[in-house]
Amino acid sequence: MEKINRRDFNSKMTRGVAAASVLGSMPLACAMGASRQKKKLGYALVGLGSYSTHQLAPALQDAQHCYLAGIVTGTPDKEKIWMDKYGIPKENVYNYDNFDDIAKNPDIDIVYVVLPNSMHAEFCIRAAKAGKHVVCEKPMAINAEECNAIIDACDKAGVKLGMGYRLQSEPYTQEIQKYVREKTFGDVRYISAEAGYHSASNPDQWRLNKKLSGSGALGNMGVYAIQAVIYGTGENPISVTAQEFSTRPEYFKDTDETITAQFEFPSGAIGNIMTSHNISSNKFLANCSDGWYGLDPATGYGPLKGETSKGIIEFPHESQQKLQMDDFAQHVLTGAPHRAPGEMGLRDVMIMEAIVKSIAEGNRKVALNFEPGFGFGE
């Protein structure tokens, strides 16, 4: 397997940034040029399901560097409700057919794609072609090929691309990353992460439809577990061995119910993840040469709780979505650190594909050949 090279990826992204500065005065990037003069950037939410309704839109009311400027929905009845609730003008309301007209709207700087997974690639690419910066909800796409197509489209258009990885912006996760950098507890020997919930009452939801979701628990909750063992070790895995379990085949007819996977890391650390749509669990723990650290809960909307062998970790609770969207807006406005680049989303989908391959091939070990640092934020 050819190694994924961070230098090649960053070279591509650098060309994209350079293109952005050149395109600032061109029609395609008129919104980008305008955004550089703004103190707050306008987000348009694409898809007004539960996450947009209950997390993203409320978070944008409290954000410091961005605000809710527009919406894109396939449900006409939602248009007036959202316009009235958030004061969104009619000209900032779009549907899936006229979405490309967003290119002409200077109010909208960032498009946040919050659609079923099978629609991520299409709308991220359309947003990039419209000259808008892009945030893509997890998982990035159905497969690595689609992820690369999104990255290429954003590169070509000279727009920024970020993942909707809220935990990369919240303080407990950042504290764990600090422990890893500073080796506060020595070398990681073993790390485990569990992310799942019990899906009990809606067999018709899109997450259980493989054509819309691409996978079940793995692409939904599994991304959190994969992220945790990576940021909790500071390394990309070099191999994975995985297993799949089904105890309710009559309910989970089309998608995976529960998956476990074991990772090996370059340092010699080993890791284990569990993800499920039938088991409620939300924690991670790292055992190190000089102690341990962990979060429980680790991946919920908060407040999270942390503990180490030296004591309790405690931070004031803030909306993770607010922090995430502010971070990306600051990255666009000032060049602040990019905590969850598209490269990170690509890496995680490639790991998901390796997990699926391991299961399909009788739970055999599958090699993962990433360059050191590939997929990490700044």
Give the C-alpha separation, 269 to 260, whole Å.
Answer: 17
Tens of pLDDT along 151-169?
Answer: 999 999 999 999 999 999 9
DSSP state letter for 341: B
Instruction: Determine the pLDDT at residue 201.
Output: 80
Active site residues: 138, 224
Classify residue 86 as left (phi > 0), alpha (psi -120 to 50) or beta. Answer: alpha
Q: pTM of the full predicted structure?
A: 0.91
Domains, the chain:
6-166 (3.40.50.720), 167-315+341-367 (3.30.360.10)
Say what the pLDDT of residue 3 is.
Answer: 57
Average pLDDT estimate for 338-362: 98
| pLDDT, tens only, 4-41 | 554 344 444 433 433 333 333 333 444 444 444 579 99
Both tokens of 359, joined, read 């299961």
Q: What are phi and psi of 71, to 5 degrees?
A: -140, 155
H-assigned helices in 130-243 = 144-157, 171-182, 210-213, 217-220, 222-231
CB 106 within 8 A of CB 81: no
What the block records as the tokens of 167 is: 């935990």
pLDDT, mean of residues 73-102: 98
- Tell whether the model's pLDDT for residue 375 goes beyond 80: yes
How far, in Å, CA of 361 to CA of 72, rounded?
41
- For the chain, helix (H) and strand (E) counts, in that order, are 13, 15
- Using alpha carbons, list the distances in angstroms from residue 89 to 23, 85, 99, 194: 28, 11, 16, 42
Helices 342-360, 144-157: crossing angle, 10 deg rounding: 170
Give 122's contacts (C-beta < 8 A, 6+ positions apart). Answer: none
Give the pLDDT band (50/70/90) at residue 369.
Answer: very high
CA dihedral 205, 209, 211, 212 (to 10 degrees): 30
Selection from 296, 226, 237 nearest residue 259 by Cα: 226
The radius of gyration of the chain from alpha carbons, rounded to an integer in Å, stands at 20
